[in-house]
Amino acid sequence: MARLTGRTVLVTGAASGIGAASSRRLAADGAQLLLADIDGPGVEKLAAELGQAAVRADVTRGEDVDRMIGEAYTRWGRLDVLFNNAGVVRLQPMLEVTHDEWDRVMSVNLRAVFFVLQAVARRMLDQGVMQESELRGKLIQTASIASYRGGNHLMTPYSASKAGVVSLTRSAAQALAPHRITSNCVCPGAVETPMWEQIDKEWGALEGLGQGEAWKRRIRHIPLGRPERAEDVAGVVAFLAGPDSDYMTGQALNVDGGLVMGN
Ligand SMILES: NC(=O)c1ccc[n+]([C@@H]2O[C@H](COP(=O)([O-])OP(=O)(O)OC[C@H]3O[C@@H](n4cnc5c(N)ncnc54)[C@H](O)[C@@H]3O)[C@@H](O)[C@H]2O)c1
């Protein structure tokens, strides 16, 4: 039997990158998925490919969040795992960050991550334990090693938002442990996804670098000697969604080829 057979999982930011790779991996491991993204056609295409369900939802909008979570409960009557992964980035010199830009990044990466987590946790409180588990449910967030490194000065709001995700992961772990709900997060390093294509472009424009130069600079320092793939993160997400991590809560797992250690 596959490790996740019978587990129901809601994935946000599922249309691309880490969310898409994790959805593929969770489906291969036997989970039933509801894939959510602001990119409706993107998430419907992936869901059709995997034989899973999709919902278009902007995680910053309360009504979309209610509809998205409602869809999971209508479909399954319960939700075992939330992979709270949607995120955005924008590179700007620290001294040029505007209020609007700060709010935009925080609204997706921190405010929405918290309110999606809170809304799911409220519903999980009313459900029984998962099959073959002592837990009612599991919450998994995507933070980043930028939360420890401070990223660099070109990603100030992003890094602050991800530090916030680590913090609220721990708050939720403490608040929900008595209810047998766990909360953990993954902290990827520099992952080859459309988000990094955007970082490369914006960083290049700010520092006069050619296409691919910023990426090369970043991956040069990875101790394990190769760029990170979305599948590297997906394996750890599958571990956090599955029974082998049921006794872990409040943890932030670096999945970064050693990048956070420096070289
Ligand atoms: N790529 C990296 O190097 C890296 C490193 C550390 C952490 N992360 C984090 O991993 C997560 C996934 O990033 P990725 O690299 O796969 O990026 P990506 O851009 O490939 O995918 C992000 C997905 O989130 C969706 N999304 C954005 N705003 C949304 C909203 N308001 N509502 C619903 N969906 C929304 C996008 O449509 C997209 O499908 C993000 O939280 C990101 O911050 C990425």
Residue 48, helix vs strand vs coil? helix
- Ligand 1: residue whose CA is nearest its atom 24: 13
Positions marked catalytic: 158
Q: What's the mean per-residue pLDDT of the chain?
A: 96
Torsion of CA 62, 55, 198, 105, to 10 degrees: 10
Residue 58, beta-bridge partner list? none
- Ligand 1 closest atom vs CA 196: 1
Q: What is the DSSP letter of 261?
A: G
Query: Which residues have a Cβ under 8 Å from the Cβ of 84 and sit 6 or more positions away?
Result: 12, 113, 116, 117, 120, 139, 140, 141, 142
**Whole-number pLDDT of residue 263:** 59
- Give tens-digit pLDDT for 150-198: 557 899 999 999 999 999 999 999 999 999 999 999 999 999 999 999 9
* CA–CA distance, 90 with 80 (Å, rounded to integer): 32
Q: Which residues line ligand 1 (CB under 6 A)?
A: 12-13, 15-19, 37-39, 57-60, 85-88, 108, 142, 144, 188, 190-191, 193-196
Q: Which CATH architecture has domain 8-191+228-254?
A: 3-Layer(aba) Sandwich (3.40)
**Whole-number pLDDT of residue 262:** 75
Query: Which residues have a Cβ under 8 Å from the Cβ of 22 and sit 6 or more positions away?
Result: 11, 14, 83, 85, 230, 233, 234, 237, 238
**Whole-number pLDDT of residue 173:** 98
Helices (H), 58-207: 62-76, 99-106, 113-124, 146-149, 156-176, 194-207
Contact of 189 with 162, CB cutoff 8 Å: no
Q: Ligand 1, residues 24, 109, 111, 195: which to mutate, most atoms within 8 A of Cβ? A: 195
Domain map (residue ranges) of the chain: 8-191+228-254
Query: Which residues have a Cβ under 8 Å from the Cβ of 245 and sit 6 or more positions away?
Result: 138, 182, 184, 239
Q: Which of 49-58, 63-72, 103-112, 210-219 has the lowest mean pLDDT?
A: 210-219
**First-to-last C-alpha distance (Å) of the chain:** 41
The token pair at 230 is 């979305």
- Give tens-digit pLDDT for 6-40: 999 999 999 999 999 999 999 999 999 999 999 99
- Give tens-digit pLDDT for 222-242: 999 999 999 999 999 999 999
Contact of 124 with 181, CB cutoff 8 Å: yes
The token pair at 43 is 């998430």
At 209, the amino acid letter reads L
* CA–CA distance, 12 with 108 (Å, rounded to integer): 11
Residue 57, helix vs strand vs coil? coil
What are the C-alpha distances in Å from 228 to residues 68, 135, 137, 221, 224? 30, 31, 29, 12, 9
Contact of 165 with 184, CB cutoff 8 Å: no
Q: What is the DSSP letter of 136?
A: S
**Whole-number pLDDT of residue 149:** 76
**Whole-number pLDDT of residue 153:** 83
* CA–CA distance, 113 with 121 (Å, rounded to integer): 12
- Give tens-digit pLDDT for 102-158: 999 999 999 999 999 999 999 999 999 999 899 999 999 999 999 987 557 899 999
Q: Is the pLDDT of residue 75 over 70?
A: yes
**Whole-number pLDDT of residue 221:** 87
The token pair at 136 is 């009612």
pLDDT band at 79 (very low <50, low <70, confident <90, very high): very high
